[in-house]
Amino acid sequence: MNEVNSDVVDLSTMESIYETYSDQPGALIPILQKAQDVYGFLPPEVLQWIADPLDIALGKVCGVVTFYSQFYLEGRGKHVLKLCDGTACHVKGAQTLVSAVEEEYHIRPGETTEDGELTLEVVYCLGSCALAPVAVLDGEIMGRVQQDGLLAAVKKRLASAPGPVGQGEPHGIE
Amino acid sequence: MALSEMSRLDARREQAKQHWQERLSADLYITIGVGTCGYAAGAAQSLDAIRAELEKRNLQATIKEVGCVGMCSYEPMVELQAKGRPRLNYGMATASVIPEIFAAYFEDAPLVTGVIVGQVQDTATCLAAGTLHSLTFVDPERGEVIPFQHKQHRVVLSNCGLIDPECLDDYLALDGYTALSVVLSDMTPEAVIDEITASGLRGRGGAGFPAGVKWRYARATQNWPKYVICNADEGDPGAFMDRSALEGDPHSLIEGVIIAGYAIGAQHGYLSCRAEYPLAIRRLGIALAQARELGLLGANILGTDFDFDITIKEGAGAFVCGEETALMASIEGERGQPRPRAPYPAVAGLWNQPSNVNNVKSYAYVPRIIRLGADCFKSLGTSSSPGIAVFALTGMVNRPGLIEVPMGITLREIVYDLGGGVPDGRKFKAVQTGGPLGGCLPEEYLDTPVDFDSLRAADAVMGSGGMVVIDETTCIVQFAKYFAQFVCDESCGKCPPCRIGSTRMRELLERITIGQGKLEDLDEIRRLATGMRQASLCALGQLAPDPVLSTLRHFEDEYRAHIVEHRCPAGQCRELLSYTIDPDKCVGCTMCARSCPVNAVAGERRQVHVIDQAVCIKCGTCYTVCKFDAVVVR
């Protein structure tokens, strides 16, 4: 069994995550999701930690992680901007918004700015199609997005405090 | 013991109905739509503004946060009802507009930015077997139902926008869980299946398979445990009716799932909801906890010997997991790759046990069918596609949103009567139905009735109900390429026809959009399509060619224009555009020449300028900077 290197990543929360889900059938995906909520992505140490008690080969765990778009194997920026390119958003000009952000911040979808501040992602459908085009910035959803408004909102957010750790998908306003 | 548990529920329901009436006769009653779309339009800020305005005016109010009513073009939507005044619903009610709306409501001040959506009537439709409450919006001046609601029969959406989805009592007040009581006290599982079969309910996830038949197979399989699975993985871009129902009325779905569990003999249910719907997941969690507390889930439900509970599973981001075997694989913690069927889930599904998979809306119809009767449900719609269905109308229409209409309504009625037609005076080009695996229908097909079979006959598909309208500014080849790209991204990769076929198809379409297509490419696309349809493992690969093929069938001229004439009629394909200067309009201001990043524009001051086509990179800068409309883009 490989030794988990807990010097690099603080694995103390993994125990309680495991306790919550371990007796549920099909526990792997919920555990991965909760772990990513905590760490912001899935470091290899965490994957190894999960594989052992669930008695699943690490390769199989990686197979699951790389299949689903929700999981990240690398850390992302302090702020995450998701632009929807679902059919309705696409016909309402989502690609223009993508190009505008690419040009302003010199990153392509899936990439993070060099200073680690902003990650851009393109997603297929957030379910607010009648308010196309739609964007989610650090978990906050925005509809009827225009280019200028989007760039201004991103600029304002980058100038403020970092987003919450472990932002996965949009959280909606709670 | 059963009787006392049911009586307890009845008593709680009576109390809830009383509270419902009391709330409606409050001095000031305000509702605000807080679905994801409401939040996207700024509803959270509107709520703060409402509270501030109430404080400023020194008013007390009962504020209810409700789900979305489906009239997304008006979001955020706020309803005001003061004693002695009409109940009015206002749209475009962003935070800065709230004071204007209050002034309009209380002081008859004019509305500038806000709009009156309509006067609200809580319509209690008395049907033979029971009552269905829903919201109707009436034009206050003309007294007629607003156009968007024409022909709508809100059943699955009936509670959305009317109740607070986080309040169980609201659901109970509108006869919630009455169907479950009736089922557990008066009906055998077989009788429930007979009723669902008699209603003719066809699955609302897209395949349209008769629900009653599926349930009967699952019941017949003698193998336990059995599972009920709700497919809440609404992955079709352009479809959000499940999202709205989950956020606005989660208990309907839960009640339907419990009834299904009873009918097929299952002990456990899974609600598999995509992670992109966090608000829906949160509200489902709250609703499940409420149901458990009231003894509607768990052991001995309502005092009977029926045990059933439900777990929420969050999807992890994969469109293919909308396919039932892939969905089950993801619940099991595997990669979401489909498996061949047979065996069908009713025989061997989740963990190889008998399982029933249905869509959110299918389960949400179940309590209504039980309560109002199969005949009532069947009386709406057509004989082969009975009932009503929910559609998501989006894209280039004036009034995008969710509509619940009887099957058999035409596309023209949906796009023009309810949707208000195409904005900005542009011309309708096509409506894409059924999501990214559906088909595109041009103007000639607008009188096609919308039901499973008529759309299939027109080589389109109803699917989960998404309808995206495009106008003359959308290039049909680019549109087809978008769908091919989508399949490439979402293919699970297991079978070559889908994995390789979609890639090759996208490459062919890409070449056509950059002016490198050949006429033989069109036959190649058709050949690939045949291979994918016949040999792909699951519906994703089998149906993937359909949107591309339908554009080729109905718009072949546009493909030929790209290939033969190197022209994009919609003006969208950059490599096929040419920028020229109209000599009659050019005044020689040199603005374009100075702005051109590649020095493609030549001309002296006050002389007509010319663009060198060999150098031009078609960035559009000259078009943007010219103040004389002299740059022509073709």
Task: Among A29, A63, A129, select the one facing B392 at the smallest CB separation.
Answer: A129
Please report the pLDDT score of residue A7 as a whole number. 59
Residue of chain A whose alpha carbon sits nearest to that of B337: A67
Output B602 or B382, whichever has higher pLDDT: B602
Rounded to a whole number of angstroms, the distance from the CA of B435 to the nearest CA of chain A is 8
Residue of B309, B393, B468, B475 to mutate, interface with A, max A Cβ within 10 Å: B468
Provide mean pLDDT across the span B1-14: 84
In this predicted model, what pLDDT tens digit does every residue of B26-62 receive, in sequence order? Answer: 899 999 999 999 999 999 999 999 999 999 999 999 9
Cβ proximity of B363 and B246 under 8 Å? no
Instruction: Report in angstroms the alpha-carbon separations of B197 from A5, B370, B610.
Output: 58, 11, 71
Judged by average pLDDT, the poorest of A78-87, B86-95, B343-352, B382-391 is B382-391
Residue B359: CB atoms within 10 Å: 26
Using 50, 70 and 90 to split pLDDT, how confident is the model at B104?
very high
Residue B224: CB atoms within 10 Å: 10
Looking at beta carbons, which residues of chain B come within 8 Å of A141? 36, 39-40
Please report the pLDDT score of residue A169 as a whole number. 33
| Cα atoms in the 13 Å half-sphere on the side-chain side of B237 | 27
Task: Give the type of residue at B191.
Answer: A
pLDDT at B353 over 90: yes
Q: In this structure, what DSSP letter does residue A161 have?
A: P
Cβ–Cβ below 8 Å for A124 and B235: yes
Please report the pLDDT score of residue A144 as a whole number. 92
In this predicted model, what pLDDT tens digit does every residue of B171-185 receive, in sequence order? Answer: 999 999 999 999 999
Provide mean pLDDT across the span B100-123: 90
Q: Which of B610, B578, B580 is nearest to B593 (CA)?
A: B610
pLDDT at B63 over 60: yes
Cβ–Cβ below 8 Å for A69 and B316: yes
Please report the pLDDT score of residue B609 as a whole number. 92
Q: What are phi and psi of B254, to 5 degrees?
A: -65, -45
Q: Is B547 on the interface with A (CB under 8 A)?
A: no
Judged by average pLDDT, the poorest of B18-27, B274-283, B539-548, B581-590 is B18-27
Please report the pLDDT score of residue B375 as a whole number. 86
Residue of chain A whose alpha carbon sits nearest to that of B437: A87
pLDDT at B2 over 60: no
Token reading at B577: 């555009």
pLDDT at B385 over 70: no
Token reading at B593: 């020449």
Q: What is the mean pLDDT of chain B?
A: 91
Please report the pLDDT score of residue A5 as a whole number. 58
Residue of B157, B240, B268, B432 to mutate, interface with A, max A Cβ within 10 Å: B240
Residue in this structure with the two tokens 């140490």, named with its chain if needed:
A45
The alpha-helical segments, DSSP class H, found in A22-168 are 28-39, 44-54, 58-67, 87-91, 94-105, 147-159
C-alpha B502 chain-centroid distance: 25
Please report the pLDDT score of residue A172 as a whole number. 34
Residue of chain B whose alpha carbon sits nearest to that of A127: B240
User: What is the C-alpha separation between B291 and B610, in angstroms, rounded?
Assistant: 73
Provide mean pLDDT across the span B602-607: 90
Residue A57: CB atoms within 10 Å: 10
In this predicted model, what pLDDT tens digit does every residue of B482-534 receive, in sequence order? Answer: 999 999 999 999 999 999 999 999 999 999 999 999 999 999 999 999 999 99
ipTM, two decimals, is: 0.86
Cβ–Cβ below 8 Å for B37 and A130: yes
Instruction: Say whether A162 sits in a helix, a strand or coil.
Output: coil
pLDDT at B125 over 70: no
Provide, rounded to the nearest whole percent, the portion of chain B with pLDDT above 70.
Answer: 98
Q: Is B621 on the interface with A (CB under 8 A)?
A: no
Please report the pLDDT score of residue A163 as a whole number. 53
Instruction: Report in angstroms the alpha-carbon separations of B457 from B227, B450, B461.
Output: 35, 11, 9
Please report the pLDDT score of residue A174 as a whole number. 27
Cβ proximity of B336 and B506 under 8 Å? no
Q: What are phi and psi of A53, to 5 degrees?
A: -70, -25
pLDDT at B232 over 90: yes
Task: Among B40, B333, B435, select the one facing A29 at the smallest CB separation.
Answer: B333
Token reading at B236: 């079709």
Sort strands B601-602 and B610-611 into parallel, antiparallel or unpaired.
Answer: antiparallel
Instruction: Say whether A26 sits in a helix, a strand or coil.
Output: coil
Q: Is B330 on the interface with A (CB under 8 A)?
A: yes
Please report the pLDDT score of residue B381 as a whole number. 64
Residue B609: CB atoms within 10 Å: 24
In this predicted model, what pLDDT tens digit does every residue of B434-464 receive, in sequence order? Answer: 889 899 999 999 999 988 888 888 878 888 8
With a cut of 50, which residues of chain A have pLDDT below it? 1-3, 165-174
Q: Which of B84, B67, B64 is nearest to B134 (CA)?
A: B67
Cβ–Cβ below 8 Å for B278 and A25: no
Helix then strand then coil, in percent of chain B rounded to 5, is 45, 20, 35
Task: Among A26, A71, A173, select the one facing B44 at the smallest CB separation.
Answer: A173
